[in-house]
Amino acid sequence: MGLLLTASSLWLPEALADTEADAAFAELENNLLTSDFSLTFDIVSTGPYPAHLEGAASLRGADEVSVEADGQFAGEDVAIRLTARDGKMKGGNGASGFEQSTPGGLRKALILGLTRMGLLHNLAVMSSGAPPDHAGGGVRDWVQVKDLRLATGTIIDGDPALAFHFTIVVSGEDAATAVLWVDAETGLPIKREQVVRFDGGEMRVTEIYSAMTIYPR
């Protein structure tokens, strides 16, 4: 049975000063890294790589992972899958896929990929038949966030939320700007919007996270 975290068990007070944004974001990531959870998602992007993907993800234990996403990416129909269990991982997009031992950094790559880059990046990687980016390690150094600012008083679908505003840095270069909203009562991500800069123009991405549930370990 799922157990949603309550406000009293999280890092979120009623108001946070901008100077506390870095610590709050780090605590958000740590809460997810040390928890088992599942969620559903709906992702839309426009620009050089248009997409509409719907799916679900579950991370349980040290290396038990399930991700599935169906829809369109860059003008193609896709059926993206990832499963990891008992030390083995496989996935990809239809006939284009991978199968190998589960890399030690898989969980961290997926979770920090979610918080820092959004889900679409790793879904796009897997749509090409490759495993999630930096699943073998090094994701913390590869993608980082800077200029974090935390805004309170936001309402998302009628519920109070807090908004992290930040710049995404990939391999030392500014790559995108993003806003990640978290539910003010549970501290769980509920929505993300970002603008990614490419030579061919800007890609705008919206990710909606729903039915996000934390399970007791």
Q: Give the span between the Cα atoms of 102 and 98, in whole angstroms.
A: 11
1 part of a folded domain: no
23 part of a folded domain: yes
Residues 6+ apart with CB under 8 A from 94: 78, 79
Q: Give the span between the Cα atoms of 45 and 42, in whole angstroms.
A: 10
Distance of CA 125 to the CA centre of its chain: 14
% of the chain surpassing 90 pLDDT? 74
The pLDDT of residue 17 is 42
pTM score, whole prediction: 0.91
Matching residue, tokens 């349980």: 60
Q: For 139-159, write each residue's pLDDT tens digit.
A: 999 999 999 999 888 888 888
Q: How confident is the model at residue 10 (pLDDT cuts 50, 70, 90)?
A: very low
117 part of a folded domain: yes
Matching residue, tokens 């391999």: 171
Q: For 61-73, write each residue's pLDDT tens digit.
A: 878 999 999 999 9
User: Which stretches within the chain are classed as H helix?
Assistant: 21-33, 106-112, 119-127, 139-142
The pLDDT of residue 165 is 96
In the chain, how many domains are there? Answer: 1
137 part of a folded domain: yes
The answer to whether 132 and 121 are in contact (CB under 8 A) is no
Q: How confident is the model at residue 129 (pLDDT cuts 50, 70, 90)?
A: very high
59 part of a folded domain: yes
193 part of a folded domain: yes
179 part of a folded domain: yes
**Residue 154 belongs to what domain range?**
7-215
**What are the angstrom distances between the C-alpha of 85 and each of 22, 81, 100, 112?**
33, 14, 11, 20
Residues 6+ apart with CB under 8 A from 48: 198, 200, 201, 203
Domain with residue 201: its CATH number is 2.50.20.10
Structure tokens at 38: 């599942």
Q: Which residues pair with 55 in a beta bridge?
A: 41, 69
